[in-house]
Amino acid sequence: MTEIKYTDPELVTSVMTRTPGTPEYRTYGPKLRSRYMVHYLGRWRRVYITQYGNAGSLYITVKGEDLFLDTDTEYRLYDLSQYVD
């Protein structure tokens, strides 16, 4: 069984909203681009969503490894989305 790894909230220094270059038309799948980016380990990284059914999970890719966002970072993105259309 694969171990699920999470981001360290202390290493997320900033979050921002950015429009993806190409609109995402799929609503389900393993790697959907979101409009969010996080600054993690010194680099801006796109937040992806794995979406099956009614709930999705947010994650980033670091050196080829998927790291799911910790709860604190997800709340920071939620707070950011309150000010974006």
Tokens of 69: 């966002």
Where do the domains of the chain lie?
9-81
Give the distance, in angstroms, between the CA of residue 9 and the centroid of all CA atoms in the same chain. 13
pTM for the whole structure: 0.84
State residue 54's pLDDT score.
87
State residue 18's pLDDT score.
81
Average pLDDT per 10 consecutive residues for the chain, totaling 85 residues: 89 86 77 92 94 91 95 89 60
State residue 46's pLDDT score.
94
User: Looking up tokens 């910790």, which residue turns up?
Assistant: 70
State residue 42's pLDDT score.
94
Tokens of 51: 């979406």
